[in-house]
Structure 1
Amino acid sequence: MDALTTPLPKNWEIKTFRDISTINQGLQIPISQRLKAPTEHAKFYITIQALNNRKEFEYIKTYNESVVCHKDDILMTRTGNTGMVITNIEGVFHNNFFKINFDRTLINKDFLVYFLSLEQTQKTILRKAGTSTIPDLNHNDFYSLSIPLPPLNEQIAIANILSDVDHYLYSLDALILKKESVKKALSFELLSQRKRLRGFNQAWQRVRLGTYKYRRGSFPQPYGNPQWYSDNGMPFVQVYDVGENFKLTQKTKQKISKIAQPMSVFVPKNSVIITLQGTIGRVALTQYDCYCDRTILIFDNNTLNDVNKYFFVLSLFTKFEEEKRKADGSIIKTITKQTLKDFEIPLPPLNEQIAIANILSALDNEIISLKNKKRQFENIKKALNHDLMSAKIRVLKK
C-alpha cells in the first residue's frame, strides 16, 4: 500500500495487525438450532445473508461470550465477500467473520474502521485472500497487514473528519429517499387522476398498447461469438443496461461491432424502450443512439407523435408496476405479445401530459442531481481517507 511507502511523520509508527490485535472467528450454528423469533436471552445471529437481506433474521440462544459482538466492536468478513467491515451491531457472529480485538488505549475504533475500509487496504486484503472461487483470508495473512499509526489524539481527529463526511453522505441518502418517496406518491396521484392539475378538467382516454407500433430488438447468434463485439463499436443495450430514472446506464456493458450491426436493430436517441425478459418492465427514454437486444421492446417514434414521451414512459412503468403487484411473488415471469397488446394505459390530452411530465421530470432532475452530489462526495471521502492515512494531509499542528 502506497500509504506505507510515503515518508511518515516521526511520531507515527508502522505496526502489523499482529502487533496491535488478536482475532477470533465466529460460530457456525446448525439451522436446526436457529430461532426465527427473538426470546429473552437469545441474540441476533449476524450473517452476511442477514446483513444483505435485512428481512429474515435469526436468533441464537446458546453461545460463548467470545462470539458475541457489541456495538463498539469491529467485525470483518474473512471469506466470500472478504474484507467487508461491520461495526455498530450487536449479536452472535457467524464463522464467516473475524472479530478484531484491539487495545483501545492505543487505537481509536473509528480510525481502525476507516483504515480497514481504505481502498488500498481492501486491495491488499483481497490479494492475500487469494483468487479462488471463494476467497478466504487466514489468520496469518490478516496479522501480516501493516497499518500506519499516528498518536491517539491524531487518530481521533482523522476519524472525526471522515465521520463528518459520512454524516453528510447519510443526510444526502435521507434527502434522496424523501425525494423519491415524494415522486412516487405524486406520480401515483397524477397518473391515477386522484389529483388533477389546476386548469385541466378534460376526460382521459384509456389506450391499448396495441394501438402503437413496436418491435423487438435483435442480435446475431451465438451471443458468445467475439466478432459481434468491439470496443470501438456502438452501444449495445441489454436488460441490465436499462437503469434508474428511466434512463440507460451511462455506458453499456457491451458494444456491438460493425459486422453485427446489420443483424441487430438501430434505436435512435429519445426512443421509448422496455425490457421483456429477465427483469420485465424496466422502461427508458434512450439518451443516446444504440442497438438493442431481442430482450428489448422498441416503440416506433412515428407512432408516438400524439404523446409526450416522458409521460408515456411514466404510464408504461406504472402499468407494469400494477401488473407486478398482481403477479405471484410480485414478479412478472413472462409476457406474451398478445398480453402486451391488450395492456391499457391512461392518456390525458397532450397539454396535460406535458404539464404532468414537466412536474415529475423536475423531481427526477433533483434526484439525479442529489445522486451525482453523493457520488462526488464519496470520491472526496475516498481521496481524503487516503491522504489522511498517509499523512499527506495533517489535521493537527506538526
Structure 2
Amino acid sequence: MVESTEIQAAFKETEVGRIPSDWGVRLIADLTSLMTNGFVGIVKTHYTDFDHGVLYIQGYNVEENAFNFNGIKRVTNDFHSKHEKSSLKKGDLLTVQTGDIGVTTVVPEQLVGANCHALIITRFKKNTAEPFFYSYYFNFSVGRRRLKEIETGSTMKHINVGDMIKMLIPYPPLSEQTAIATALNDADALITQLEKLIAKKRAIKQGTMQELLKPKEGWEVKRLGEVAEVVGGGTPSSFNSSYWKGDVNWFTPTEIGDKKYTYESVRKISKEGLTNSSAKILPIGAILLTSRASIGDISILMLEGCTNQGFQSLIAKPGYYNEFLYYLTLTIKPLLIQNASGSTFLEISPNKLRSIELCVPPTKEVQLEIAQTLSDMDSEIELLEKKLAKYQRVKQGMMQNLLTGKIRLV
C-alpha cells in the first residue's frame, strides 16, 4: 500500500492524461513562433526537373521521425519565392494532416530551405521546446489518439492548423525533453543501422543467388515436371463442420510470403475432410508454390500438411535436392506469371508449370553446395531480422515509459 501511495503521489491527472507531478501542461500556441500549412492547391505545373529547383516535401515523403525520399519532387524557384511561408527551417516539425494523420518528423539540416505541400509546419520558439521530443510524442499512441480527437471532415479526414494550435500538450522540463529525445534518437539510429545492414545482406544474397544459379557448362536443361512432382491442393466442403475439426495442417496462401520456411498453419482439417477433398498430404521438405492470384510465393514445408487449391506444390524427385529447387524456383517467378492465364484472376495450370524449363547441375552434390551457401546467408539475415524486431520492441517500450514519465532520465 505504501508503494502504491508513493507512485500516485508522483503523478497527477491533467487535461492531457496522467503525467509526472513536475511536468506542466501548455498550449502549443504558447510554445510556437509559427504554425501554418504547407502550400495547398495544384502544384504540378510548377514541378521542375532541374537540379537547382527547390525540394518539395509531400505527405508520402514523411515518416515517423524520418523521411522517405522516393519520388521526391522539385518546384521552380519562382513558385518557392511566392510561397515563402512554407519554406522550411531546421527543427521545424512536419505533421501529415490528411491521410496517415499525425505522422510527424523533424526537418534536418539538408532540407533547410525546402518547401512543402499540405503539411502542418510547427516552429517552436527558441529554447522553449525540444522538437524531437514532440515529434516522438505525436508519433506515440497517446499523441496520435489526441490528434485523432481533432480530426474533421466527412469524406476525407484531416486536421486543421486552427485546431492543432489550440491543443494542450504535456510539458516536461526542457532538460528532460532533450534527454528523452536523445535516448529515442539513439534507439532509432541503432534500428536504422541494422535496417541498412539487413538491406545490404539481402542485396549480397540476391547477387550471390543470381551468380550461383546462372547456367554453367555441364548443367542440364530439364522441365520442372522432370525434377519435381507437381501436387495440387483442395478445400473440404464448408457445409460439413466435422471436416474443420481435426489435426491435419492445412495451408492457405496467406501463410506464404518471401520467407523460407513455414512452421504452422492457420487452420486444421480432419482426416475425413482431407479424404473428401482433392488435397493430398505433403511430406516435410515439399515446396509450397502459390499458383493463382498471387503467383510464385514459395516456402519449404517444415511439417507434414496439405494445402488449398491456391497451390501447386513441388516434391523433389530422386536425384534432386528440395532446398536447391526452392532457390531455383525463386528466380523464375516472372516466368511463372508469364505462363499464367485467366479472366477473373491469373492462374498457372499444373501442365504449364510442369513444362517450364530449368537449368540444373547434373549432380546432387553441386545442388547441395549451392543450397547450403544460400541457406547460410538466409540464416544470417534471419538472425539480424530477429535482432531488429527486438530493437523495435525495446524502442516501443522506451517510448511507453519515457513519454509518459514512468521512467525518468533526469
Tell me how far apart the structure 2 counterparts of residues 131 and 255 of structure 1 sit (CA, whole Å).
41
- Max Rg structure: 2
Q: Secondary structure at the match of 1:192?
A: coil
Q: Classify the secondary structure of the residue corresponding to 1:27.
A: coil
2:88 matched residue in structure 1 = 69
Equivalent residue for 1:365?
Answer: 379
1:281-310 deviations in Å (ceiling 9; x for gaps) = 2221133455533332212x3x53432221
Q: Measured at CA, do residues 57 and 392 of structure 1 come closer, stay the same or move farther in structure 2, by a change above 3 Å?
A: closer
Structure 2 residue 52 is the aligned partner of structure 1 residue 33: no
Q: Compute the displacement of 1:191 (Å).
A: 1.4
After alignment, is 59-68 or 159-168 more displaced?
59-68
Q: 1:391 deviation in Å?
A: 2.0
2:390 equivalent in structure 1: 376
Going from structure 1 to structure 2, the CA distance change for 1:153 and 1:357 (only over 3 Å counts) comes to same
- Once residues 267 and 296 of structure 1 are traced to their aligned partners in structure 2, the CA distance between those partners, rounded to angstroms, is 13
Aligned equivalent of 1:341: 354
Aligned to 2:187, which of 165, 183, 186? 165
- Residue identity in the other structure for 1:218: G
| SS state at 1:279 partner | coil
Seen in structure 2, the aligned counterparts of structure 1 residues 126 and 214 have a Cα distance that, compared at 3 Å, is: farther
Match for residue 94 of structure 1 among 90, 114, 117: 117
Report what 2:367 is aligned to: 353
| Cα drift, residue 127 of structure 1 | 5.2
Shift of 1:392: 1.9
- Are 1:320 and 2:333 matched, yes or no? yes
Structure-1 residue corresponding to 2:223: 208
Aligned equivalent of 2:291: 276
Give the letter aligned to residue 384 of structure 2. L
Residue number in structure 1 paired with 2:211: 189
Query: What is the rounded CA distance, in whole Å, between the counterparts of 1:101 and 1:236 in structure 2?
Result: 55
Confirm or deny that 1:388 pairs with 2:407: no
- Residue 335 of structure 1: how far off its partner (Å): 3.9
**Does structure 2 conserve the Cα–Cα contact (< 8 Å) formed by 1:217 and 1:293?**
yes
Say if 1:214 and 1:54 are closer, same or farther in 2 by CA, change over 3 A.
farther
- For residue 24 of structure 1, report the CA deviation from its aligned partner: 1.9
TM-score after normalising by structure 1: 0.79
Alpha-carbon deviation of 1:118? 1.5
Shift of 1:323: 6.8
After TM superposition, give the deviation of residue 77 of structure 1 in Å: 0.9
DSSP 3-state at the match of 2:207: helix
- Alpha-carbon separation, structure 2, partners of 1:121 and 1:102: 17
Partner of 2:25: 14
3-state SS in 2 of match to 1:203? coil
Aligned to 2:234: 218
- Report deviation, 1:336: 4.6
Task: Give the RMSD, CA atoms, in angstroms.
Answer: 3.8
Q: Is the 8 A contact 1:208 1:344 kept in 2?
A: yes
| Separation of aligned partners in 2, 1:245 and 1:266 | 23
From 303, 319, 337, the equivalent of 1:306 is: 319
Counterpart residue identity of residue 92, structure 1: N
The unaligned stretches of length 5 or more in structure 1 are 195-201
- Give the Cα–Cα distance (whole angstroms) in 1 for the partners of residues 174 and 127 of structure 2: 8
**1:229–1:255 CA contact under 8 A, matched in 2:** no
**Match for 1:342: what amino acid?**
S
Matching residue of 1:242 = 256
1:186 alignment partner AA: T
Indicate yes or no: 2:279 matched with 1:265: yes
Mapped contact 1:228–1:256 kept (Cα < 8 A): no
- SS of residue matched to 1:278: coil
Match of 1:179 among 183, 195, 201: 201
* 1:113 corresponds to which of 135, 146, 150: 135
Quick check: 1:239–1:295 contact (8 Å CA) kept in 2? Answer: yes
Residues 53-62 or 76-85, more deviating: 53-62
d(CA) in 2 for partners of 1:125 and 1:238? 38
| Number of aligned positions between the proteins | 375
1:208–1:345 CA contact under 8 A, matched in 2: yes
* Deviation string, structure 1 residues 235-267 (Cα, Å, up to 9, x no partner): 65444432223234x776x64666976546355
Q: What corresponds to 1:198 in structure 2? A: none
- 2:151 paired with 1:129: yes
Deviation of 1:124 after TM superposition, in Å, equals 3.5
Is the CA contact 1:235–1:255 (under 8 Å) kept in the aligned structure 2?
yes
Find 2:308's aligned residue among 264, 289, 293: 293
TM-score norm. by structure 2 comes to 0.77
Structure 2 counterpart of 1:59, one-letter code: R
- 1:47 corresponding residue in structure 2: 58
SS, match of residue 222 in structure 2: strand
| Secondary structure at 1:113 match in 2 | helix
Q: CA deviation at 1:228?
A: 11
What's the secondary structure of 1:104's corresponding residue? coil
